[in-house]
């Protein structure tokens, strides 16, 4: 067949007749193929370009790099003028009464509070998903609810197993379009505790299967924003420290925000990227230190795996592949049950992540736990992590030791300079090079750790009068509110926090799973 004379407009028009052109709210062109009516692809994606080359070949035309750009430009113009405006979703989309989860390969999991879960190949009118080259398909769920089997994959304390279960069900059940915050999952673990397998294999496969299992933390928040457009969850491996600026930006990723930048090859045009995505951060060290970020986290501490319980990566992967259909079903079935009750339960602990607290209250009802138990575990989890993040800080240790000599009824009261001198002259505490050098630096540092100090029973109050007095006193946790005594685990011996009376025990777990 002789090659036809190339005409970009004619070829674009003929290709348009075989697909549906649309655009998103930012006027970015999208292509919907008739065999997958619920899935759209960016105009310049590999999937669309391959289809365009195949179409051109059927018309007796071959496309080189310059020709395909001409055709794509014509299609872009047609989509801008004629395309329907749609809102594509990645992996999870909201539907009436629940959500639709994209399993891949033309299969969708329809989850509702009333109807439970079902696998379908059709999507409601007006609902569209977007897929990327890195997105992987999930296995078809097996209708077998087995919470005990799911919890057995978590190598942490029983209390943290329940918090991790709550995070998993919350994350899969909330599409980004809901505009709700995602609590950040932080996993701190020593070497040989299986954190890489837990994050890159188990969590990745349960929430958002992808060929990019995990990443290193980028230096620029713009790179995080770009990745967030193409993932439902981002997993960052082996963090040692999060600088203050990045800590503030990760708070935006959890609760929602945007990054504005100049569009390439332009002088004045700007574009924005939404900052909203579920995050998993892991490392050996205490890498989350800013209280603002800690208050948005669910903190999990993995336990070392003994030599006689170790398995090879290949063995674990094989076992996970066999169990995955049932595990996926369990996560979504629990999510459906929580959705059916969460609006009728009482929230005892209204944390910064209020929607997650409400979800925990729903999980309490589903698992038939005492009202407020999981919420109290979450509260203690956050407060404990605030302390752990700064427990080696010299000013924190100095204030903790100093405050023990004073009560709320008889607090220490004097100027910032006097407080600095009193802290610096203590002999019971060995101060490091990180100790502030003057009263002004001390005051600035105290302001950044107020939440952590309070979680540790240390209270500071600064009077904004002419002389700027400080008041310092110690008040053990549990005396302010009886609920504060409820926690997931005791802190290190140096911390004045007693083990909580309602610790979730092995017997609780077995009773829960009976």
Residue 226 belongs to a domain with what CATH number? 3.40.50
In a domain? residue 513: no
pLDDT of 49 reads 95
273 and 338 part of one domain:
yes
DSSP, res 177: G
Structure token pair of residue 477: 């946790």
pLDDT of 269 reads 66
267 and 303 part of one domain:
yes
Residues near 76 by beta carbon (within 8 Å), at least 6 away in sequence: 29, 43
Residues near 167 by beta carbon (within 8 Å), at least 6 away in sequence: 183, 185, 298, 356
In a domain? residue 376: yes
65 and 160 part of one domain:
no
Domain that holds residue 26: 8-86
104 and 168 part of one domain:
no
What is the SS3 assignment for 62?
A: coil
pLDDT of 513 reads 44
pLDDT mean over 251-264 = 80
In a domain? residue 495: no
Domain finish residue from 347, 366, 388 = 388
Domain finish residue from 100, 130, 160 = 130
Better-predicted residue by pLDDT, 99 or 428: 99
Worst-scoring range by mean pLDDT, 8-22, 224-238, 245-259, 378-392?
A: 378-392
Alpha-carbon distance 47 to 135, whole Å? 13
216 and 266 part of one domain:
yes
pLDDT mean over 118-126 = 94
What is the SS3 assignment for 69?
A: helix
Residue 285 CA, chain-centre distance (Å), reads 19
Q: φ and ψ at 269, to 5 degrees?
A: -75, 140
In a domain? residue 194: yes
Structure token pair of residue 488: 């997931």
Residue 324 CA, chain-centre distance (Å), reads 21
Nearest residue to 331 via CA among 503, 94, 139: 139
pLDDT of 143 reads 94
In a domain? residue 507: no
- Helix extents (H) in 174-238: 195-196, 204-207, 221-229
H helix or E strand, kind and range, residue 398: helix 394-403
200 and 311 part of one domain:
yes
Alpha-carbon distance 169 to 13, whole Å? 45
> Would you say 453 and 473 are in contact if contact means Cβ atoms under 8 Å apart?
no
Q: How confident is the model at residue 466 (pLDDT cuts 50, 70, 90)?
A: low
Is the pLDDT at 126 greater than 60? The verdict is yes
Please give the tally of structural domains in the chain. 4
Alpha-carbon distance 375 to 360, whole Å? 6
Better-predicted residue by pLDDT, 482 or 414: 414
Alpha-carbon distance 273 to 397, whole Å? 41
Percent of the residues in the chain that have a pLDDT greater than 90, as a whole number: 65
Q: Using N-to-C axis directions, what is the helix angle for 373-388 and 158-173, rounded to 10°? A: 100
For the chain, the average pLDDT equals: 87
Residue whose tokens read 């952590």: 452
Structure token pair of residue 510: 């077995």
321 and 228 part of one domain:
yes
Helices and strands, number each (H, E), in the chain: 18, 19
DSSP, res 215: B
110 and 78 part of one domain:
no
In a domain? residue 448: yes
Structure token pair of residue 333: 């079935």
409 and 447 part of one domain:
yes
pLDDT mean over 111-133 = 92
Domain finish residue from 388, 414, 430 = 388
In a domain? residue 113: yes
193 and 334 part of one domain:
yes
pLDDT of 497 reads 32
Alpha-carbon distance 168 to 335, whole Å? 9
348 and 377 part of one domain:
yes
What is the SS3 assignment for 460?
A: strand
In a domain? residue 254: yes
232 and 380 part of one domain:
yes
Residue whose tokens read 């890489």: 196
pLDDT mean over 182-195 = 92
Is the pLDDT at 191 greater than 70? The verdict is yes
Is the pLDDT at 288 greater than 70? The verdict is yes
């Amino acid at each position: 067949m002789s090659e036809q004379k190339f005409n970009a407009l004619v070829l674009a028009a003929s290709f348009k007749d075989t697909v549906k052109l649309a655009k998103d709210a930012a006027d970015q062109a999208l292509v919907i193929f008739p065999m997958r009516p619920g899935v759209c692809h960016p105009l310049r994606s590999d999937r669309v370009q391959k289809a365009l080359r195949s179409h051109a070949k059927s018309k007796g035309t071959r496309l080189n790099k310059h020709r395909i750009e001409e055709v794509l430009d014509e299609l872009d113009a047609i989509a801008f003028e004629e395309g329907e405006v749609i809102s594509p979703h990645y992996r999870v989309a909201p539907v009436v009464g629940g959500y639709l989860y994209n399993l891949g390969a033309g299969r969708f999991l329809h989850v509702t509070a009333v109807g439970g879960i079902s696998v379908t190949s059709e999507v409601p009118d007006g609902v569209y998903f977007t897929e990327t080259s890195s997105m992987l398909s999930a296995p078809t769920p097996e209708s077998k609810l087995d919470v005990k089997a799911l919890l057995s994959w978590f190598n942490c304390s029983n209390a943290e197993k329940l918090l991790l279960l709550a995070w998993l069900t919350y994350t899969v059940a909330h599409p980004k379009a809901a505009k709700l915050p995602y609590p950040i999952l932080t996993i701190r673990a020593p070497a040989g505790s299986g954190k890489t397998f837990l994050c890159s294999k188990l969590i990745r496969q349960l929430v958002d299967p992808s060929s990019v299992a995990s990443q290193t933390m980028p230096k620029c928040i713009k790179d995080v924003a770009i990745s967030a457009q193409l993932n439902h969850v981002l997993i960052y491996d082996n963090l040692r420290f999060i600088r203050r600026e990045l800590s503030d930006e990760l708070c935006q990723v959890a609760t929602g925000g945007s990054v504005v930048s100049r569009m390439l090859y332009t002088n004045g045009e700007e574009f924005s990227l939404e900052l909203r995505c579920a995050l998993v951060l892991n490392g050996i060290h205490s890498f989350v230190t800013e209280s603002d970020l800690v208050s948005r986290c669910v903190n999990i501490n993995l336990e070392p795996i003994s030599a006689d319980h170790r398995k090879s990566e290949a063995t674990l992967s094989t076992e996970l592949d066999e169990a995955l259909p049932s595990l996926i079903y369990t996560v979504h079935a629990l999510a459906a049950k929580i959705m059916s009750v969460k609006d009728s339960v009482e929230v005892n602990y209204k944390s910064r992540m209020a929607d997650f607290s409400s979800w925990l209250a729903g999980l309490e009802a589903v698992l038939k736990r005492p009202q407020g138990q999981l919420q109290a575990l979450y509260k203690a989890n956050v407060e404990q992590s605030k302390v752990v993040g700064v427990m080696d800080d010299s000013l924190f240790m100095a204030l903790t030791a100093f405050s023990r000599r004073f009560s709320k009824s008889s607090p220490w009261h004097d100027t910032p300079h006097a407080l600095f001198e009193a802290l610096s002259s203590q002999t019971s505490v060995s101060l490091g090079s990180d100790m502030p050098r003057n009263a002004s630096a001390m005051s600035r540092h105290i302001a950044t750790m107020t939440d952590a100090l309070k979680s540790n029973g240390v209270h500071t109050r600064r009077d904004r009068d002419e002389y700027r007095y400080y008041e310092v006193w110690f008040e053990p946790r549990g005396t302010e509110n009886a609920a504060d005594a409820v926690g997931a685990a005791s802190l290190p011996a140096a911390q004045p926090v007693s083990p909580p009376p309602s610790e979730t025990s092995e017997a609780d777990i077995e009773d829960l799973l009976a």
